[in-house]
């Protein structure tokens, strides 16, 4: 019988006590949900490793794209990671995901470029994808400005960022982008089937991210039903041959669990190189909670070390 980690139970109880009367995510406006995300970020980011970071903007197809560059002391010419944050394509920023990037840089020893892509619903698909692909391509071409070898890049992201990471890896494979060494996909949203076993089991408010929340996110992101067949938006609609090695991770108590399971099945079917990590006893969003959730620190360390190995290969 699946069991939540004791610290996970404590975190959920605290959230319920402090937020129990608040509107559900899918009942909020995007602006209100974003502000909530930003308000909690300093708490969860506190205690992250002190990795030097600088902010700048790079050009993009829809205007400048803010990035945050982390360098844990890697020498010039090191391989690097492009990180794409989660938040359902509606929420999140380089500030909210600062702690995650600092931990990955600390454990992996590689520089990271975190991307602040434009958000839906003001900027629906394909704008967030195009921002991310443009930023990845820019790092491939101009990485030397950041001390990064643009020919040795990986991409990683969580949730919607996992979706975008796989989408840009597919696009890079198909031409016009850098040849990636690897991609780490952390409990990604890869499909639009809301009736999977994991949605039925874990898509309730009990585990923070609900089925209704995910429908709310996808409805804000996609322009129409036609986008569901576009692999840049819904990667499970795509082909999986010729991709770089992928790390697919999944949380046990997550409505998106079966998205990752289906992706792994597709990768196995075409013998695409991949590794699988199943994180027991935790919910979607667990890596944000490393300050209070000891297993999440290990998850980030494991992910960073996998990326380090692939970038060295």
The residues annotated as belonging to the active site are 159, 254, 284
CA angle 162, 163, 168 (to 5 degrees): 95
3-state class percentages of the chain: helix first, strand second, coil last, to nearest 5: 45, 20, 35
Sort 165 into a burial class: Cβ within 10 Å, 0-12 / 13-18 / 19+.
buried
Instruction: Please provide the DSSP assignment of 35-54 as one string.
Output: HHHHHHHHHHHTT-----EE
Distance CA 227, CA 67 (A): 27
How many H helices and E strands in the chain? 9, 8
Helix pair 98-108, 294-312: axis angle to 10 deg:
50
SS3 81: strand
Helix pair 98-108, 30-45: axis angle to 10 deg:
40
Q: Is the peptide bond before 121 cis (omega within 30 degrees of 0)?
A: yes
Three-class secondary structure assignment of 171-188: HHHCCCCCCCCEEEEECC
């Amino acid at each position: 019988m699946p069991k939540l980690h004791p610290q996970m139970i404590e975190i959920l109880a605290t959230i319920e006590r402090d937020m129990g009367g608040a509107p559900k995510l899918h009942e909020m406006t995007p602006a209100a949900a974003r502000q909530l995300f930003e308000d909690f970020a300093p708490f969860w980011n506190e205690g992250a490793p002190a990795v030097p970071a600088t902010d700048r903007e790079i050009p993009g197809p829809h205007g400048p794209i803010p990035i945050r560059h982390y360098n844990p002391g890697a020498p010039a010419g090191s391989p690097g990671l492009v990180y794409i944050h989660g938040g359902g394509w509606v929420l999140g920023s380089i500030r909210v995901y600062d702690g995650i990037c600092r931990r990955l840089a600390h454990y992996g020893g590689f520089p990271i470029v975190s991307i602040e892509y434009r958000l839906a619903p003001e900027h629906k698909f394909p704008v967030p994808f195009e921002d991310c692909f443009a930023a990845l391509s820019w790092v491939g071409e101009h990485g030397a400005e950041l001390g990064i070898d643009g020919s040795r890049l990986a991409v990683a992201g969580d949730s919607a960022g996992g979706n975008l990471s796989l989408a840009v890896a597919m696009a890079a494979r198909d031409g016009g982008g850098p040849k990636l060494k690897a991609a780490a996909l952390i409990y990604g949203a890869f499909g639009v089937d809301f009736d999977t076993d994991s949605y039925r089991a874990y898509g309730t408010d009990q585990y923070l991210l609900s089925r209704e929340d995910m429908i709310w996110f996808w409805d804000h992101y996609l322009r129409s039903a036609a986008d569901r067949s576009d692999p840049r938006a819904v990667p499970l609609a795509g082909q999986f041959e010729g991709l770089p090695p992928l790390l697919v991770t999944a949380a046990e108590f997550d409505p998106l669990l079966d998205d990752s399971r289906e992706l792994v099945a597709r990768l196995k079917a075409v013998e695409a190189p991949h590794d699988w990590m199943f994180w027991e006893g935790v919910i979607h969003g667990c890596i944000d909670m490393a300050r209070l959730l000891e297993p999440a620190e290990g998850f980030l360390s494991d992910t960073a070390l996998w990326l380090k190995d692939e970038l060295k290969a």
